[in-house]
Chain A
Amino acid sequence: MSGGVIRGRDLAQDLALRVDAVVVGTGAGGSMALRELARAGLDVVALEEGGVLASRDFDQREDRMLPLLFQDAGGRATEDMAIRVLQGRGVGGSTVHNTNLCKRTPDAVLDLWARKFGVAGAGVAEMRDAFETVERDLSISEMDPAMRNANNDALKRGCDALGWRGGPLRHNRVGCQQSGFCELGCAYDAKQNAIKVLVPQAVTAGARVYADVQVERVLHEGGRATGVHGVALDAAGLPVSRVEVWAPIVVLAGSAVGSAALARKSGLPDPHGQMGRGLRLHPGAVVAGRFDGAIAGWRGIPQSYECTELLSHEEGSDKRVWIVPAFAHPIGAAATLPGFGAAHMAAMRSYPNLAVLTAMVHDETSGEVDVDGDGRPVLRYRMSEGDRQQLARGLVGGARLLFAAGAREVTIPAIPPLRMTRASEIDALDLSTVRPHSVPLTAVHPMGTMRMGGDPASSVVGSTGEHHHVRGVFVADGGLFPTSIGVPPQVSIYAFALHLAPHMVERARRG
Chain B
Amino acid sequence: MRGSSQLPLSRRRFIGAAVAGALTLAAGIAVVRTRGYGLRAGVRLAAMTPWQYVVVEHAARRITAPDRPGDASVPSADDVGVAAFVDAWMVRMPARVRRDLGRFLAYVEHVAPLSAGFAARFTHLDPVSQDRVLGRIESSSYDLLRAGFDGLKSLVFIGYYRDARTWGLLGYDGPLVGRPPGGWR
Give A residues with C-beta under 8 Å from B.
58-63, 66-67, 72-73, 75, 80-82, 177-181, 187, 237, 296, 298-300, 329-331, 334-335, 339-346, 348-349, 351-352, 372, 374, 376, 415-416, 436-438, 440
Q: Give the chain B neighbours of A335 by CB distance below 8 A.
A: 150, 153-154, 157-158
Known: A59-B175, A62-B158, A82-B143. A299 touches B89 (CB 8 A): no
CB-nearest residue of chain A to B158:
A331
Instruction: Tell me which of B89, B94, B131, B146 contacts A438 (CB under 8 A).
Output: B146
Instruction: Tell me which of B144, B162, B183 contacts A61 (CB under 8 A).
Output: B162
CB distance from A34 to the nearest CB of B (A): 28
Q: Is the CB of A177 within 8 A of B157?
A: no
Q: Give the chain A neighbours of B65 by CB distance below 8 A.
A: 340-342, 345
Interface centre among B65, B161, B169, by most A CB within 10 Å? Answer: B161
CB-nearest residue of chain B to A374:
B95
Known: A81-B147, A179-B176. A73 touches B89 (CB 8 A): yes
Count chain B residues whose beta carbon lies closer than 8 angstroms to a beta carbon of A: 46
Q: Is the CB of A374 within 8 A of B96?
A: yes
Q: How far is the CA of A250 from the CA of B184 in the complex (A)?
A: 46
Q: How far is the CA of A329 from the CA of B161 in the complex (A)?
A: 10
B62 within 8 A of A: yes
Q: Is the CB of B161 within 8 A of A177?
A: no
Q: Is the CB of A330 within 8 A of B92?
A: no
Query: What total count of A-B pairs have CB within 8 Å?
Result: 133
B139 within 8 A of A: yes
Q: How far is the CA of A237 from the CA of B94 in the complex (A)?
A: 11
Q: Is the CB of B177 within 8 A of A345?
A: no
CB distance from B134 to the nearest CB of A (A): 6
Q: Is the CB of A178 within 8 A of B147?
A: no
Q: Give the chain A neighbours of B131 by CB distance below 8 A.
A: 341
CB distance from A504 to the nearest CB of B (A): 32
The 8 A CB mask of B167-185 against A (1 = contact, 0 = none) is: 1011110111100000110
Q: How far is the CA of A403 from the CA of B131 in the complex (A)?
A: 33
Q: Is the CB of A345 within 8 A of B175?
A: no
List the 8 shortest-distance A-B pairs measured between CB atoms, nearest first. A60-B175, A81-B147, A63-B162, A334-B157, A352-B171, A437-B143, A346-B67, A341-B65
Q: Taking chain B's interface residues, is the majority helix, strand, or loop, or is none over half, making it mixed?
A: helix
7 contacts between A and B (CB under 8 A): A73-B93, A80-B143, A81-B151, A296-B171, A342-B67, A344-B63, A352-B170
Q: Is the CB of A330 within 8 A of B96?
A: no
CB distance from B79 to the nearest CB of A (A): 14
B64 within 8 A of A: yes
Instruction: Tell me which of B139, B162, B169 contacts A348 (CB under 8 A).
Output: B169
Q: How far is the CA of A490 from the CA of B158 in the complex (A)?
A: 28
Q: How far is the CA of A187 from the CA of B179 in the complex (A)?
A: 12
CB distance from A153 to the nearest CB of B (A): 15
Q: How far is the CA of A57 from the CA of B4 in the complex (A)?
A: 78
The 8 A CB mask of B126-143 against A (1 = contact, 0 = none) is: 000001001000110001
Q: Is the CB of A343 within 8 A of B157?
A: no
B18 within 8 A of A: no
CB-nearest residue of chain A to B135:
A340
Q: How far is the CA of A329 from the CA of B139 in the complex (A)?
A: 26
Q: Is the CB of B66 within 8 A of A179?
A: no
Q: Give the chain A neighbours of B139 by CB distance below 8 A.
A: 415-416
Q: How far is the CA of A344 from the CA of B169 in the complex (A)?
A: 12
CB-nearest residue of chain B to A64:
B162
Q: Is the CB of A72 within 8 A of B97?
A: yes
Q: Give the chain B neighbours of A344 by CB distance below 8 A.
A: 63
CB distance from A432 to the nearest CB of B (A): 13
Instruction: Tell me which of A237, A330, A342, A352 contacts B166 (CB under 8 A).
Output: A330
CB distance from A57 to the nearest CB of B (A): 11
Q: Is the CB of A340 within 8 A of B153?
A: yes
CB-nearest residue of chain B to A179:
B176
Q: Give the chain A neighbours of B175 by CB distance below 8 A.
A: 59-61, 181
Q: Is the CB of B147 within 8 A of A334?
A: no
Q: Give the chain B neighbours of A67 by CB distance below 8 A.
A: 89, 92
| Residues from 62 to 108 in B contacting A, C-beta threshold 8 Å | 62-67, 74, 85, 89, 92-97
| Residues from 39 to 78 in B contacting A, C-beta threshold 8 Å | 62-67, 74
Known: A81-B144, A331-B161, A335-B157. A351 touches B170 (CB 8 A): yes
Q: Is the CB of B177 within 8 A of A58?
A: yes
Q: Is the CB of B177 within 8 A of A60?
A: yes
Q: Give the chain B neighbours of A61 by CB distance below 8 A.
A: 162, 175
Q: Give the chain B neighbours of A179 by CB distance below 8 A.
A: 176-177, 183-184
CB distance from A205 to the nearest CB of B (A): 32
CB distance from A56 to the nearest CB of B (A): 9
Q: Give the chain A neighbours of B166 by CB distance below 8 A.
A: 330
Q: How far is the CA of A345 from the CA of B68 in the complex (A)?
A: 9
B122 within 8 A of A: no
CB-nearest residue of chain A to B149:
A340
Q: Give the chain A neighbours of B174 by CB distance below 8 A.
A: 60
Q: Is the CB of B146 within 8 A of A415?
A: yes
Q: Is the CB of A349 within 8 A of B176?
A: no
Q: Give the chain A neighbours of B89 by CB distance below 8 A.
A: 67, 73
CB distance from B132 to the nearest CB of A (A): 11
CB distance from B177 to the nearest CB of A (A): 4
Known: A349-B169, A351-B171. A75 touches B63 (CB 8 A): no
CB distance from B4 to the nearest CB of A (A): 46
Instruction: Tell me which of B64, B147, B161 contacts A80 (CB under 8 A).
Output: B147
Q: How far is the CA of A298 from the CA of B167 in the complex (A)?
A: 13
CB-nearest residue of chain A to B151:
A81
Instruction: Tell me which of A62, A178, A340 contacts B138 (CB under 8 A).
Output: A340
Q: Is the CB of B183 within 8 A of A178?
A: yes
CB-nearest residue of chain A to B100:
A81
Q: Is the CB of A376 within 8 A of B146?
A: no
Q: Is the CB of B138 within 8 A of A72?
A: no
Q: How far is the CA of A402 from the CA of B67 in the complex (A)?
A: 26
Contacts A341-B65, A374-B96 known; list 11 others, CB within 8 Å: A62-B158, A63-B158, A66-B158, A81-B150, A181-B177, A300-B184, A335-B158, A340-B138, A341-B62, A345-B67, A352-B172
Q: Give the chain A neighbours of B144 by CB distance below 8 A.
A: 80-81
Known: A60-B177, A81-B151, A179-B176. A237 touches B138 (CB 8 A): no
Q: How far is the CA of A63 from the CA of B153 in the complex (A)?
A: 15
Q: Is the CB of B161 within 8 A of A330?
A: yes
Q: Is the CB of A331 within 8 A of B162?
A: yes
